[in-house]
Amino acid sequence: MTTQPVHQAEPDSPHAGVFERAETVSDWDDDYYHPIAERLYDRQVARMLERLGVPPGGAVTDAGCGPGVHAIRAAKRGFRVEALDLSHTMLGEAERRAVDAGVGEKITFEQADLTSLSIPDASRRHVFSWGVVIHIPDAEAALDNLARIVAPGGRLALHLTNSAAIDHTLEGWGRSVLRRPLEIEQRELGPGAWYEMNDERLWVWRFNLDAVAAFLARRGLTLRHRWTAECSEVQRRIKGPARSGLLLANNAAAAVRVPAAWSATNLLVFERTA
Ligand SMILES: C[S@@+](CC[C@H](N)C(=O)[O-])C[C@H]1O[C@@H](n2cnc3c(N)ncnc32)[C@H](O)[C@@H]1O
């Protein structure tokens, strides 16, 4: 695969929004990519790729690559990566980081909207989408497309939020103490809410993961694996040593395999069986 020219942010793009803001890249770096958390992601991405069954040197699609952190992890493990994202800002950042990490030649970058993907049916064997569908209000359309492109025997890994997580109870308590209630919408795939981020709106699903699995089963995908990704995401709201402590606890919780049903985010691997 060859590397496409560096993407430029397009402020007038019809997709401009929270994902096109440069501040969103740095905010998510601060929220998620603490050095302690990186150790957890190294292990989780390795496990995900193994369960996707990507053969040595094989190709994998990262559907919603953001700033490219997991695409780069996959490329460093020797895989060729097709990295897709809605946002030109994210793609530009991902390409810059891939070049800096010395894996620019292993990753292609392409602007794509998962809700209207033009990739042919059954044309990909290994696809992952990490923390992406959770921000797509029309998740049904995105899941339809992700399922559609997976070939028979191929696999799809999703990193998703979990409506049953203990985190949501804690957030509810915190918000009632601070008198900042959240307007939660109940939908077929679970509850969700609009948050404000960088003067834009950001939709966040709290998926009912049984409903997601049933939705994908109706499209021929069978759930093969489900495990805890992050036990809690509360640490994102905290600074200093307490944050490091919570991050270490998160890593430990994943290592001892805390039940996925309690955890803030889960990894699920599906196989096309029909
Ligand atoms: C929270 S980030 C996750 C990025 C990356 N997977 C990671 O874990 O670092 C969500 C990403 O989804 C992308 N995204 C949102 N809606 C999308 C859509 N409809 N199609 C493709 N990508 C989308 C955003 O641009 C953003 O890069």
| pLDDT tens digits in sequence order for the chain, 274 residues long | 333 434 444 444 445 599 999 999 999 998 888 999 999 999 999 999 999 999 999 999 999 999 999 999 999 999 999 999 999 999 999 999 999 999 999 999 999 999 999 999 999 999 999 999 999 999 999 999 999 999 999 999 999 999 999 888 888 888 888 888 888 999 999 999 999 999 999 999 999 999 999 999 999 999 999 999 999 988 887 888 889 998 998 999 888 889 999 999 999 999 999 9
Atom of ligand 1 nearest to the CA of 142: 19
Residue 225 β-bridge partners: 269
| Residues whose beta carbon lies within 6 Å of some atom of ligand 1 | 19, 28, 64-66, 69-70, 85-87, 90, 112-115, 130-132, 135-136
- pLDDT recorded at residue 181: 82
Q: Which residue CA neighbors atom 26 of ligand 1 most closely?
A: 66
Distance 228 CA to ligand 1 centre (A): 20
Q: Looking at ligand 1, which atom is closest to the CA of residue 20?
A: 25
Distance of alpha carbon 162 from alpha carbon 205, whole angstroms: 8
Given a contact cutoff of 8 angstroms between Cβ atoms, the answer to whether 61 and 151 are in contact is no
The ligand 1 atom at the shortest distance from the C-alpha of residue 89 is 25
Substitution site in 38, 88, 118, 132 for ligand 1 pocket (most atoms within 8 Å of beta carbon): 132
Q: How far is the CA of 145 from the centre of ligand 1 (A)?
A: 15
DSSP annotation of 254 reads H
Residue 30, Cβ density class (10 Å: 0-12 exposed, 13-18 middle, ≥19 buried): exposed
Spatial separation of the C-alpha atoms in residues 191 and 162, rounded to whole Å: 10
Model pLDDT, residue 134: 98
Looking at the CA of residue 28, tell me the nearest atom of ligand 1.
1
* pLDDT recorded at residue 240: 85
Ligand 1 pocket test target in 86, 114, 161 with most atoms within 8 Å of CB = 86
- Domains of the chain (ranges; CATH) run 18-272 (3.40.50.150)
Q: Are 89 and 25 in contact (CB under 8 A)?
A: yes
252 and 35 Cβ atoms separated by less than 8 Å:
no
pLDDT of residue 226: 98
Q: If you take atom 16 of ligand 1, which residue's CA is the nearest one?
A: 136
Q: Would you state the pLDDT for residue 220?
A: 98
Give the pLDDT confidence score for residue 9 in this predicted structure: 45
Instruction: Yes or no: say if 207 and 168 are a contact pair by the CB < 8 Å rule.
Output: no
85 Cα–ligand 1 center, Å: 6
Is 21 in contact with 198 (CB distance < 8 Å)? Answer: yes
Residue nearest to atom 12 of ligand 1 (CA): 132
Query: What's the CA-to-centroid distance between 179 and ligand 1, angstroms?
Result: 30
CB atoms within 10 A of CB 149: 22
- The model's pTM: 0.93
By the 8 A CB rule, do 215 and 133 touch?
no
Q: Which of 88, 93, 135 to mutate to test the pocket of ligand 1 (most atoms within 8 A of CB)?
A: 135
Give yes or no for a contact between 113 and 141, defined as CB atoms under 8 angstroms apart: no
